[in-house]
Structure formats: structure tokens, C-alpha cells
Amino acid sequence: AAENWRLDDEKIFSSLPPLFRGHPEIHLRKGIMDATRRVAANEADAENAFFVADLSQIFRQHERWMKYLPEIVPHYAVKCNPDPYVLRLLAALGAGFDCASNGEISQVLGIGGVDPSRIIFANPCKATSFVRSAAKAGVNNMTFDNADELCKIARAHPEAKLIVRILADDSKSICRFGIKFGAPLEVVPSLLLKAKELGLDVIGVSFHVGSGCYDPTTYGDAIKRARDAFIMGAQAGYRFTLLDVGGGFEDARFEAAASVLTDAINHYFPDRKGIRLIAEPGRFYVSRAFSLAANIIARRAPMIENSSEFVDLKPTSDEPSVMYYINDGVYGAFNCIMFDHQTVNPYVLSLNGSFHVSSSEPLSLCSVWGPTCDSIDCVCKAVELPSALQIGDWLGFDNMGAYTICAASQFNGFEFSKVVYTTSRVGGEEVRRALCNLAAKGYGHGVGP
Ligand code: PLP
């Protein structure tokens, strides 16, 4: 039985990723030391930027979810970060998955051991061929928000279990989806009528308050709308059994959102026997779990005229005078600045080759740029960093797990930054046990990098 496998069993670990132990900071430093050695040995691409992913952090977020929203089964939004080991871990922890495409469905089913019923195809506008593939793969749960989609599904997957995605107020979220998706409540009755006419089975309601929701009260309003849609379902002759509360959960406001959501569910769905509650969290699970180390590969600083000396930078200067160029940018991991409306905060990982950075280092205002030849590739327009930073030093960026790697490109021939996996002290054993159990059952081989 899986329980009898020892955690340090060689055979099992050979089928797992090189999964280190210890705090992510240790592995950021280890990675930098390794890169420094490789630079000294003149190895190619030695100083490449890299991520450290702390899988324990994902485990801890799952624990938090289960503590504050025990009734709601999380279906992790794969789009947010389809890292193979994040998916494996969440599969082993019993989460479901929100997939937006054929590719994401294949990736999740490729883990092995994930029943297609644990997947919701939560894209209301799908290609017909994708609907057909979902039918073939046994993925039945899918969302819709328009009549054309119903006709398409009636042709390509008549056995589908449909979920009507209703419009929610997304005005309190960083990324708004309402202009693209979500049926206003006024059109829901006619959509349900159409579904009935086509002989389709609608089983419930979903919504999404927008990604990065900073006002938890929005969930209360969305639940009220969902309750109205349930009533419309009953009027159309359906008995809804699924309520999907979507994503949008922010790490810092999670407990507040969970509390609003729980109260609203209790209020609007007091008698919910027979109703399955699910959600589609993405950002909440992965944001804090990934840090990025990037190397300063170039710098442009003003020079003293007729001298090879640099100007002594005035810490009081209010214009960035030094430009640092690092080896990941907005075409890579920092695409989150463009697509996810994020600002990132660099900190110094090494200064003049040394890890020790005292808090009394003189600072100056500078800008940080990505490695490509495009001037849009700016990571920070103005940030205070030690004036002594040199080419070869390293900057760190935390909270880099959500909507980063997934949308990165290789523009200008720059490679994706690789990921080093670790488990920190709290939750580390649970992560290893979960991954071991998955591997011991023969799963988890299909999705390795
Ligand atoms: N569900 C759907 C349908 C989405 O489009 C998204 C994000 O784009 C998510 C869930 C995940 O949202 P978040 O990362 O804010 O939790």
C-alpha cells in the first residue's frame, strides 16, 4: 500500500522532481553560488535567471482553504500557473481543476489518477473541436454564457453537464472579465429555455468576480445573483445541483472573502442539501510560492566627463540615473506587469558578489530593465537600490507564482527561466508524502518538465 512507502525510498524519489528541502532563500543562494561557479568556469548561460518554487507554500494555502472554506471544493485554475509539480501536488491533495483549453485538459489528465469528473471546462466560448475532444476525454462539466455555445455543445457533446456563467460585479478587481464573459441575469431565462429546447442538461451556476478581487463584499452580491439564477433554473424545469463561486481570491484578503462568502451562502442557500459547491482559485494557491532570482547583466550609469570613473551617485537624486538590465523581463516572467497589472519589488540578493547586504547601504533611485531590445521591456521605472550594485549581482522578486511563467515568451531568443523546487520546513513532509503516494500509485510521470 502507498502508506508503506518510506519517504526516503530511492526508487520513489527517482520518479519525483529533484525536490530539495529547506527555505526558498537557501535555494536562491545555492542557485546563485552555482551560477557564480559556472560563470567562473566560462559555462554557457551560466547566470540565467531562475525561479525557486516552495511547494510547501502551496500545501499551506490548501490547508488555509480547507480551514476557511471547507464546504467548497477548490478546482485550481490551471491557466494561472500550469507548473507540472504544482498540478501533481494539487491532484494528490484532492483538488479539482479548472481548464480553459484542450491543452490544459490533456495536461491534467496526463498526471494520471485524476478522474475527468474532477475537471470543469470553465471557458464559456470554446472551439467546437475542443468540445468534441472534451467529450472524448470524458470531461462533461462545462460553462456557457450564450445561445451559440449551447447550439455548439448540442452538436459536439450533447451529454455535457452545463453550468451557466452569470455576470458578476467585477468593478473591484484588478483584472475584469465582465466585458468578455458572463450572461446578465435578464438573459438567463431565455438561455435556459434554449437549453431545454436543445435537450441539454444544465446543472448549475458559476460566476467570476474578476481576478485579484480587493473588495470581498463583491462575493456577497455575486451569491445573491447566483441564487436568483437558481430560481430561474427551477422555473425553466431544471434542478440545479452545482454552485461554482469562481476565482479572484487574493492572498491578503482571503479570510475576509471566505467570511463574506460563507455568510452569503448561508443566507441565500440555507437549505443546500444536494448542492455541490466548488470554486476556481488560481492566484491564491501559487502567487507566494514562487520567487525569481535575476542577474544584472548590464548597467548604464552616467560617467564623469573625460574619465573612466562613474559619477558618485547622490542618494537624494529624484530622477533614476542608473539603469540596470536583468536577464528576465516583460516578455518573460515579468509579463505579469503588462497582462496582470502587477508592480514588482526587487530586493538585493547579492551585492558585489556578497550575500550580506547591510541596511545602511547608500541607496539611489534607479530603473530596472529586461534583456530584450524593446524599450517597453521595463521591469521597474523607479526603485531605490544600493548604489554599489554591479554587473553580476543578483536581484530577487517574491510573489512571482501567478500569471508569470504561463504567459512568458521567448522573444529575442531568451529562454524561459527554469524552476528549482523545494519544500520548506512547515508542510514539507506532507508535500513529500502526497507526491510519494501519487508516484507510488504509478501516477505523475506524464507531466514532468
Ligand atoms: N476561473 C476563470 C474562468 C478564470 O478566467 C480565471 C482567471 O482568469 C480564474 C478562474 C482564476 O482566477 P484567480 O487567479 O483570480 O483566482
Q: What is the pLDDT of residue 360?
A: 85
CATH 2.40.37.10 fits 32-53+288-423, yes or no: yes
> Is there an atom of ligand 1 within 6 Å of 77 CB?
yes
Q: What is the pLDDT of residue 16?
A: 57
Flag whether pLDDT at 20 surpasses 50: yes
% of the chain beyond a pLDDT of 90? 76
**Average pLDDT of the segment spanning 346-373:** 91
| Confidence category of residue 4, pLDDT binned at 50, 70, 90 | very low
Q: What is the mean pLDDT of the chain?
A: 90
The backbone torsions φ and ψ at residue 211, rounded to the nearest 5 degrees and listed phi first, read -85, 140
Q: What is the pLDDT of residue 308?
A: 61
d(CA 95, CA 92): 8
| Cβ 285 vs Cβ 76: under 8 Å | yes
Q: What is the pLDDT of residue 186?
A: 98
Which residue's CA is the closest to the ligand 1 atom numbered 8?
211
Q: How far is the CA of 310 from the centre of ligand 1 (A)?
A: 47
Flag whether pLDDT at 11 surpasses 50: no
Q: How many CB atoms within 10 Å of residue 421?
A: 24
Residue 203's SS3 state is strand
Summarised one tens digit per residue, pLDDT across range 93-117 is 999 999 999 999 999 999 888 999 9
Atom of ligand 1 nearest to the CA of 247: 16
Flag whether pLDDT at 357 surpasses 90: no
**Average pLDDT of the segment spanning 409-430:** 89
Using alpha carbons, select from 327, 287, 304, 301 the residue that is nearest to residue 387.
301
Flag whether pLDDT at 198 surpasses 90: yes
Q: How far is the CA of 338 from the centre of ligand 1 (A)?
A: 17
Q: Could you tell me which residue, 172 or 217, shows the higher pLDDT? A: 217
Flag whether pLDDT at 1 surpasses 80: no
| Confidence category of residue 145, pLDDT binned at 50, 70, 90 | very high
Pick the catalytic residue from 373, 378, 406, 436: 373
Residue 371 is placed in which grid cell?
534583456
| Cβ 208 vs Cβ 178: under 8 Å | no
| Confidence category of residue 61, pLDDT binned at 50, 70, 90 | very high
> Is there an atom of ligand 1 within 6 Å of 248 CB?
yes
d(CA 142, CA 180): 17
> Is there an atom of ligand 1 within 6 Å of 282 CB?
yes
Give the domain ranges of the chain. 32-53+288-423, 82-281
> Is there an atom of ligand 1 within 6 Å of 247 CB?
yes
Atom of ligand 1 nearest to the CA of 280: 10
Q: What is the pLDDT of residue 317?
A: 56
**Average pLDDT of the segment spanning 290-307:** 86
Q: How far is the CA of 34 from the centre of ligand 1 (A)?
A: 36
Residue of 98, 208, 288 to mutate, ligand 1, most atoms within 8 A of C-beta:
208
d(CA 321, CA 65): 45
Q: How far is the CA of 246 from the centre of ligand 1 (A)?
A: 7
Flag whether pLDDT at 363 surpasses 50: yes
d(CA 265, CA 223): 7
Flag whether pLDDT at 3 surpasses 50: no
Flag whether pLDDT at 263 surpasses 60: yes
Q: How far is the CA of 196 from the centre of ligand 1 (A)?
A: 28
Summarised one tens digit per residue, pLDDT across range 151-176 is 999 999 999 999 999 999 888 888 88
| Cβ 145 vs Cβ 185: under 8 Å | no
Q: Which of 68-77, 130-139, 219-228, 295-304 is predicted least confidently?
A: 295-304
> Is there an atom of ligand 1 within 6 Å of 283 CB?
yes
Flag whether pLDDT at 352 surpasses 60: yes
Q: How far is the CA of 122 from the centre of ligand 1 (A)?
A: 9
Flag whether pLDDT at 447 surpasses 60: no
Q: What is the pLDDT of residue 437?
A: 76
Q: Give the pTM.
A: 0.92
> Is there an atom of ligand 1 within 6 Å of 432 CB?
no
Flag whether pLDDT at 73 surpasses 60: yes
Which residue's CA is the closest to the ligand 1 atom numbered 9?
247
| Confidence category of residue 8, pLDDT binned at 50, 70, 90 | very low
Which whole-number Å values give the CA distances from 147 to 161, 199, 204, 229, in the listed order? 15, 13, 16, 16
Q: What is the pLDDT of residue 130?
A: 98
d(CA 295, CA 183): 46
Q: How far is the CA of 207 from the centre of ligand 1 (A)?
A: 10
Domains 32-53+288-423 and 82-281 are alike in CATH topology: no
Q: How many CB atoms within 10 Å of residue 376?
A: 11
| Confidence category of residue 444, pLDDT binned at 50, 70, 90 | low
Which residue's CA is the closest to the ligand 1 atom numbered 3?
122
| Confidence category of residue 310, pLDDT binned at 50, 70, 90 | low
Which CATH class name applies to 82-281? alpha beta
> Is there an atom of ligand 1 within 6 Å of 320 CB?
no
Q: Could you tell me which residue, 439 or 38, shows the higher pLDDT? A: 38
> Is there an atom of ligand 1 within 6 Å of 74 CB?
no
Q: What is the pLDDT of residue 176?
A: 86
Give yes or no: 373 in active site. yes
The dihedral sign for the CA sequence 309, 313, 318, 322: positive
